[in-house]
Amino acid sequence: MSLVTTLKQADIFYDLTPTQLELVASICSEKMYNVGDIIFEENTTGGEIYVIANGEVEIQINPAMIGKESTGGSYTIAVLRRGQSFGEISLVDEGLRSARARSATANTHLILIPREQLMYLCSTYPQMGFRLMRNLAADLAMKIRNTDLQVREYLVWMQRQ
């Protein structure tokens, strides 16, 4: 499968033209991970966004990062699959990673898109930048809504204890 075809399937590139997808593909690199490989750690700097071409990625948080003791280590808050992206918060605020990403399957194939080069494309081609940022905002909103639902379910569960 070509890089452009894979990018076209990703939600954050919805409605981009073939030429715009070619521009994005020109700045991408690819990397393979095995099951259990750490893609990036929580509270580290990040300069790229990832798109899953194949496989699954677990997004995990460590409760110890906020002072909570945990005997189980990291907690998986999401499992992402082909066509989904992660690491996008670093695109928006250039802050530290809010979670750890870990390969959940063998032969996880990721597309890495460097932030600086992507931002350059967005500023050079404003129509593409607008579409990408609109899609990115929609993707982040969906993830926030999902997290909100998880928090609500947890609170209801805790009240029943």
Give the pLDDT confidence of 7-24 residue by residue, as tens digits. Answer: 999 989 999 999 999 999
Mean pLDDT confidence for 74-100: 88
Q: Which domains does the chain have, with CATH numbers?
A: 3-160 (2.60.120.10)
Residue 65: predicted pLDDT: 62
For residue 108, which amino acid is it?
A: T
Whether 71 has a pLDDT exceeding 60, the answer reads no
Supply the mean pLDDT for the chain.
Answer: 90
Percent composition of the chain: helix, strand, coil (DSSP 3-state, to 5): 45, 25, 30
pLDDT in tens, 88-140: 887 788 888 989 999 999 999 999 999 999 999 999 999 999 999 999 999 98
Q: What is the DSSP letter of 128?
A: H
Residue 124: predicted pLDDT: 97
Strand spans (E) along the chain: 29-33, 38-40, 48-54, 57-61, 75-80, 85-86, 100-103, 108-114
152 — pLDDT class (breaks 50, 70, 90): confident
Is pTM, for the whole model, over 0.85? Answer: yes
